């Protein structure tokens, strides 16, 4: 039986002590491998392209290029990149902007090693991973003026959205709903178009904010 490959992680943080601590933790834990380290957003963009890590641990507040700018550049060059924010700041605007730019989750730096390992695995599998404090703020966030109290989605699209928010990929959604893969893709496209969203992460966040799914469902 072939052993599962390690999850290759790129560590991005401007504090050497944080990078060293994360490197020591990930190197010690089986199933993880440090693909590289970057001290700012500029290096993060370059190393993400060079090493193509499975998961990028991204700080938000950094010199030269901040985490949000780096996330946007990395996702533009490689849409499938999986990014987990790891920050000590809880400023809603910056975190929400990073999630909407395509990051798959956000943890605070006071999280336990076990929580970090679990979040990395979840993000690697394409699932949303949010620190409870961030999740509560996300759900409580006031709806924008463009949000409608009456969902424009069909019943089937709502079903697809809920499963998408639970971290299921298109194949799993097709199997669970007993529909074809092209049909799922069509539903996802319609969901993003109708809700004026850019990616699956934004769709999952929409589902959380509108109580169509919860983190307990994942």
CA distance 216 to 128: 11
CB of 7 closer than 8 Å to CB of 32: yes
Residues of the chain with pLDDT under 50: 1-2, 145-149
Domains of the chain, start order: 7-140 (3.40.50.2300), 155-217 (1.10.10.10)
Read out DSSP for 79-132? TT--EEEEES---HHHHHHHHHTT--EEEETTS-HHHHHHHHHHHHTT--EE-H
Task: State the pLDDT at residue 33.
Answer: 93
């Amino acid at each position: 039986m072939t052993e599962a490959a390690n999850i290759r992680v790129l560590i991005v943080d401007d504090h050497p002590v944080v990078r060293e601590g994360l490197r020591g933790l990930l190197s010690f834990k089986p199933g993880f491998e440090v693909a590289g380290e970057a001290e700012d957003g500029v290096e993060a963009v370059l190393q993400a392209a060079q090493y193509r890590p499975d998961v990028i641990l991204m700080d938000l507040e950094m010199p030269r290029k901040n985490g949000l700018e780096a996330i946007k550049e990395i996702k533009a060059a490689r849409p499938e990149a999986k990014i987990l924010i790891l920050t000590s700041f809880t400023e809603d605007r910056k975190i929400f902007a990073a999630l909407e730019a395509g990051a798959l989750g956000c943890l605070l730096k006071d999280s336990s090693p076990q929580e970090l390992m679990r979040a990395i695995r979840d993000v690697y599998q394409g699932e949303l991973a949010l620190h409870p404090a961030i999740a509560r703020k996300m759900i409580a966030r006031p709806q924008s003026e463009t949000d409608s109290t009456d969902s424009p989605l069909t019943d089937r699209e709502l079903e697809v959205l809920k499963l998408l928010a639970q971290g299921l990929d298109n194949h799993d959604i097709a199997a669970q709903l007993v529909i074809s893969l092209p049909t799922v893709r069509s539903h996802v496209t319609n969901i993003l178009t109708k809700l004026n969203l850019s990616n699956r992460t934004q769709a999952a966040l929409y589902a959380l904010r509108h109580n169509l799914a919860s983190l307990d469902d994942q």
